[in-house]
Amino acid sequence: MTLTRTLDRKRDPEATRPAAPEMAWPTAPIQRVAEQAERLVAEHPLLSDLGIALAIAVAAIVGLWSQHRLDGRELVFTAALCLPLLVRRRQPMLVFAALAAIAAVQWLIADPQLADAALLVALYGVALRGNLIEVALAGVVMAAGTVMAAAKWAPSDPVKVWIGLSGLVVAAGVFGISIRQRRALLASLHERAARLEFERDQEGRLAAAAERNRIAREMHDIVAHNLSVMIALADGASYAIDTSPERTVKATEQISATGRDALLEMRRLLGILRDEQSPQLLTPQPGLGELEPLVARIRTAGVPVELTIEGDPQRLSEGMQLTIFRVAQEALTNTLKHAVRPTEACLRVRCGPDRVELEATDTGPRSLGTPGDGRGLRGMRERALAYGGDLHTGPRADGGWRVHMYLRPSQDRR
């Protein structure tokens, strides 16, 4: 067995290498600390600036003490370099200019110290909040300061000191610009999210309004048609109750059947509004196959109707068939409601490859009674426009009324 393991190791050199230990970096705690620090800085900016100034001052004092240079003049420069940082958020360029002037005086009469790091913090503030001209001017001043500091305080090796100071200056400026860009990106993302949320709500409101309009149109077609048929049948039954009892019984039965159909369609629509999952919701919408029962009800109500269908209606979608049926229903209902008796109606449907037409005419002039609110005509026109067509209505030259609608099957929204 030992020999087998040795041969396996010779065949697979990777097997002889020890597995690299997996490094589990505690990124989650670091991220939480960073988020808490950023939140604290945002909520208490003056406290954070005070902390930065105190940290730089303490570091400068410790450095001066370790170098045995802790005297009154150095402490004055330490305080002068750290105190302006308390207002760096409100006046970043003014603070940078004041610190640059203090550093120039220090270059003339004193030696460098760790408090000079306040210039880097001020440069970061200008890069974060200043305009392009201010950032460029601050960069030029800092570049000149690095040359002056390297030339005076490091005469033995000025290039090395200049490179180190220039790197710190570039790091402070780049860090400020990157944070500025990150904040701008976050602001734009928040603005875009708010805009998308508003657009989503707006689309929801528009969809709800369109759905309410569609349901109101369906309710109008159902209620207006069935009630008109029931009223006409009831009037006919009251006229024939003495002379023709058989016709009265037939009209009464038709009233009952029409009422049941209307109730069934109303329940289906109300079920859609309540989002009920009932078997009635699976009932198909009426199509061109329902035109014969529709015409039969109008005939029973006392208006002779001639129905003609040309072409193949089965190639039309269910939505287009529903549109044709509802327009025909509304046109015949208007004949039943507004045409003066006696009147005859004619309903023609032509199904062509590129155009579908519906024409409904009657011979009775319109009564001078109370006009409707126009909701039915608006509903018919909206249905036609949904399929790239149009609808025209008006009186005929020889009397009566005409409704003409055309649809385009090529724009059928399946």
Q: Are residues 63 and 173 in the same domain?
A: yes
pLDDT (average), residues 130-145: 92
**Residue 40 to residue 48: CA distance in whole angstroms:** 8
Q: Are residues 178 and 297 in the same domain?
A: no
pLDDT (average), residues 393-404: 88
**Residue 40 to residue 44: CA distance in whole angstroms:** 6
Q: Which domain holds residue 366?
A: 289-414
For 359-395, write each residue's pLDDT tens digit.
999 988 877 654 555 677 888 888 888 888 999 998 9
Q: Are residues 194 and 293 in the same domain?
A: no
Phi (first) and psi of residue 78, to 5 degrees: -60, -50
Domain count, the chain: 2
For 274-310, write each residue's pLDDT tens digit.
554 444 444 567 888 889 988 888 888 778 999 999 9
Residue at a domain's end among 139, 173, 198 = 198
Q: Which residue is it, tokens 């303490």?
A: 58
For 15-49, write each residue's pLDDT tens digit.
444 444 444 444 556 667 656 766 777 677 788 88
**Residue 153 to residue 151: CA distance in whole angstroms:** 6
Q: Are 123 and 169 in contact (CB under 8 A)?
A: yes
Neighbour count for residue 172 (Cβ, 10 Å): 23
Tokens of 174: 């780049």
Q: Are residues 44 and 193 in the same domain?
A: yes
Residue 23 zone, left/alpha/beta (φ > 0; ψ -120 to 50; rest): beta
Q: Is residue 2 part of a domain?
A: no
Q: Which residue is it, tokens 């079920």?
A: 271
Q: Are 177 and 139 in contact (CB under 8 A)?
A: no
Provide the CATH number for the domain around residue 364.
3.30.565.10
